[in-house]
Amino acid sequence: MKIQKYRPAWSVRFAAALTATLACSLGSIAPSLAAEAATPVAEKAETIGYVSEDAMMPMRDGVKLHAQIWRPADQETALPIIMMRSPYGFTRERIVDSLKKGGSYGYLAEDGFIFVFQDIRGRFSSEGNYVTLRPRKTTADGIDESTDTYDSIDWLVKNLPGNNGKVAVTGVSYGGWTAAMATIDPHPALKAVSSQASPEDMFIGDDFAHNGAFRLDYAWSWVSALEADGKTMKPFQFGSDDGYAWYLGQNDLATLDEQHLGRKAPSWQNFVEHGNYDDYWKRSRPSQMMPAKVAVPNLIVAGWYDQEDFYGPLEIYKNQEKGDENGLNYIVIGPWNHGGWRGEGASYGPFEMGGETGTYFRSKVELPWFQYWLKGEGTLDQPEALVFETGSNRWQRLNSWPLKGKAEARNLYLRAGGKLSFEPPEAGEAPAASFVSDPANPVPYRQRRDIQPFLTKGSTWSTWLADDQAPFASRNDVLFWESDPLPADVTISGEVAARLFASTTGSDADWVVKLLDVYPDDDETPAELRGRQRMIANDVFRGRFRKSYENPEPLVPGAVLDYDIDLHYASHVFKKGHRIAVQVQSSWFPLISRNPQSWVPNILKAKPEDFQVQTHSIYHTPENASAISVTVLNEE
């Protein structure tokens, strides 16, 4: 249907730019500042052929939410709407950069869509009160992110000239979470979503805690930036580039906000007061609120190297699969860090990926997805699971994830003498390997020179999962097991988990497990990869939650206890001549807050005298055979 060329009339084009803001991929946060001026942004906008307007959209409770609306300047036909909702702010300069040719949304912009970038309730120019991961409404007349999305879509299709009545919601990180929430009681005009890097459970596996172990640096940097005044994203000033030393010097985490911000920050206080897995954490899990039967097509996106939300998208996909009767639930897993598919994606750290995987996703997957559901163009040539296999650097078009019937779980046993083997331990081998864990000297999660708080300018936080793990294997408080050189390729595809049999002289302990690909140290291996220990899967488990996340218990000193630790998923080829290795340690600082290793009811309220040196042991006997379970692909 042809309509007259649209010219903005009901709002101001190119309003003054918002104050400097932290944003990445128009949906997640990153360590860079962007100071803007209105005139250069306007000039840049003209070069991309898009015009901008601001709108205040009324919600059902009278609160108005601010949005920027960007449409092709020469629009002649009715177009669908792609909407993004975030608490992090959308600077006009970054929007222009994202919509230009080669930008993170350049392919979509070139094809022609109306883009809506909305500040969620209580953030930047939107009215109302901000609540982190606002839980589902409890009354019929209540509000939540789902109702705000519904009301925004309703306003757009009724009031925005030149739209075709079809809307999609997408976003990365928090924006991915709001996209998932849009599927709860969806508006009839919502035809598709793409939930990208969405958190699912902030206590079990995403931003703020993993298996109950508090993610200190991320949580503090995030809270201190986001909850400053509601209208900015100003990074906390640490006064030092040595994040390890700064955090080690903080002796009272419970009052960190009052000490350094001069007030209580709502989210920080919630972290302090909810040290166990209670309703505060459970109530914001999107897949528990999404309809049991999938009604809105969802392209879920995850990155193997997502340093913030790898757990979330795969868990949402798994839970939604249970009710996907009509084949509307899809997943893409690529070789990316958090939001890395919005860039070129040709490499991660020193690891080349065989091509621009991010460009491929945006042009060959994301664009056709929205063309099909919003414009009715083309056919949907999207496999159930599009999964990148690292090591071989190839995309796999799969009819399920994980694979069914083509792989089997096998144990890689931790053996005496630092040996790693598919063969179980034998009687007579040394029963255990031990190490001393000192909270005053915790194992850094990366080399000290690289530990900068993740929001600071110049931080390399986004690539830490590519760090060489070899330096840590030489520490006395890190245990290391390694296989013989592989006689043939070993391909894993699916779940990875650890089962440790361990003891401690204390009454609490953290267990960090890393599965590694060790490169040969020879002339045939590129110089930057020789002897490198590449992390394939990893996670941490806080021992007190061994029996229950809701009701933690002290560990019995000296008792050999079993710990099941989810290392999530991997799709990787360990090449012939490489070795498979495992590291186990009890601290990962300041990524994870220190465990005092003596029992305290709440670790964030621990005092300096609570932190005690303890000896930990990992057992590898026939009766207590510690192992890593990997899903090995059967060769056809």
Give the domain range for residue 608.
407-633
256 and 290: one domain? no
244 and 145 inside one domain? no
Q: In percent, how much of the chain has pLDDT > 70?
A: 92
Residues 6+ apart with CB under 8 A from 634: 406, 407, 408
Mean pLDDT, the chain, as a whole number? Answer: 92
Do both 599 and 467 map to the same domain?
Answer: yes
Number of domains in the chain: 3
Read off the pLDDT of residues 550-594 as tens digits, 9 standing for 90 and up: 999 999 999 999 999 999 999 999 999 999 999 999 999 999 999
Single-letter residue type at 112? G
Residue 113 lies in a domain: yes
Residue 570 lies in a domain: yes
Q: Domain end: 398, 428, 457, which one? A: 398
- Asked if residue 475 belongs to a domain, the reply is yes
- State the CATH number of the domain containing residue 176: 3.40.50.1820
Reported as a single tens digit per residue, the pLDDT across 238-270 is 998 899 999 999 999 999 999 999 999 999 999
Q: Which of left, alpha, beta for 588 (phi over 0: left; psi -120 to 50: alpha)?
A: beta
The reply to whether 501 falls in a domain is: yes
Helices marked H in 309-446: 311-321, 357-360, 367-370
Q: What is the sign of the dihedral through the CA atoms of 450, 453, 459 and 460?
A: positive
At residue 342, the pLDDT reads 97
Same domain membership, residue 460 and residue 553: yes
Task: Give the pTM.
Answer: 0.93
Strand-strand pairing, 614-619 and 419-421 = unpaired
Q: Which residues, at least 6 apart from 578, have a Cβ–Cβ distance to it below 8 Å? A: 485, 486, 517, 518, 519, 520
Closest C-alpha among 497, 509, 480, 465 to residue 584 = 480
Give the CATH number, domain containing residue 430. 2.60.120.260
**Which pLDDT score, from 0 to 100, does residue 44 have?**
55
pLDDT of residue 278: 97
pLDDT (tens digit per residue) in 460-507:
999 999 999 999 999 999 999 999 999 999 999 999 999 999 999 999
Q: 494 and 563 share a domain? A: yes
- The percentage of residues in the chain with a pLDDT greater than 90, rounded to a whole number, is 88
Same domain, 242 and 369: no
* Residue 508, domain member (yes or no): yes
Q: What local confidence, expressed as pLDDT, does residue 321 receive?
A: 96
Render pLDDT for 26-81 as a digit per residue (tens, 0 to 9).
Answer: 444 433 222 232 334 444 565 789 999 999 999 999 999 999 999 999 999 999 99
